[in-house]
Structure 1
Amino acid sequence: MNIRDIIEGKREWRAHVARVKALPQDYQIVYKEIQKYLFKVGPVELNEGTGLLSGIVDLFEEGAASGKGVLEVTGRDVAAFADELIKDSKTHTDNWQESVGKETRKAIKKVTDNQK
């Protein structure tokens, strides 16, 4: 990653944050909670720009423009809404579990081979 990529990434993030700040207060609160949740759960694509998060802002902007409350857009269970967004996404936990499984299989194979 070169300096231009870093600068462009910061520019995109600032524009994204400005969009969030332009949302009604209830939308901002729910967005921030979803964002925190997604950062903890760790979908890999969150590291690839603001695509998923921008999609949420797009949806929230549409909901706000049509006069809907945020819970009319997400439903009452916001965590379930967030889970649905990433249900087919690979997470850092998935990567870690695959790595542990791979290393375990290697270790077992090594022990088995040494016992022969």
Structure 2
Amino acid sequence: MSDTKFGGFIATMVGPKRRWRQYQARVRQLPPNYRAAVEATQRHMMHFVPTDADSDASRFEDLAALFEQAAANGTPIREVVGPDPVKFAEAFVHNYSDGGYVPARARKQLTEAIERAAGEGSGK
């Protein structure tokens, strides 16, 4: 493998990992309820097939930015995700890819996690 190809390979492998770690660090800085909402949305978004690494990384970075802004402004979680967190997450993902199949169980888990993060009861 030539140095140019090897350098491109390394950039392809390391770049997304670095971006992922940076994204996770940003999420850890959020207030606990916003962090819980992002993590629940993130888990749901993992069911979608990324079109490419850059698009996938951008999707998560933009999710973090959205919740960082909401936390900074004191915007309630429900104002961010609306009444249906599944529709929110799936619409968010479709801006970045063609999506994928999401099992009903994953949809229920997201809905319950957002209810807990928004302080809306037990989530059961």
* In 2, Cα distance between equivalents of 1:46 and 1:71: 30
Q: Which amino acid aligns with 1:14?
A: R
Work out the number of aligned pairs and report it.
92
Question: 1:91 offset after TM fit, Å?
Answer: 2.5
Structure 1 stretches (4+) deviating beyond 4 angstroms?
none
What is the TM-score of this pair, normalised by structure 2?
0.63
Q: Are 1:51 and 2:58 counterparts?
A: yes
After superposition, the Cα gap between the structure-2 partners of 1:35 and 1:68, relative to the gap in structure 1 and judged at 3 Å, is: same
Higher relative CO (CA 8 A, sep ≥ 6), structure 1 or 2?
Answer: 2
The 3-state SS of whatever aligns with 2:46 is helix
Q: Deviations over 1:10-66 (max 9, x none)?
A: 2211111000101111111111111111111x1423643411111111111111110
More helix by share: 1
Q: Where does residue 104 of structure 1 map in the other structure?
A: none
After superposition, the Cα gap between the structure-2 partners of 1:18 and 1:83, relative to the gap in structure 1 and judged at 3 Å, is: same
Q: Are 1:22 and 2:60 counterparts?
A: no
Larger Rg: 1
Sequence identity, in percent? 27
* In 2, Cα distance between equivalents of 1:35 and 1:66: 21
Q: Are 1:33 and 2:40 counterparts?
A: yes
What is the TM-score of this pair, normalised by structure 1?
0.67
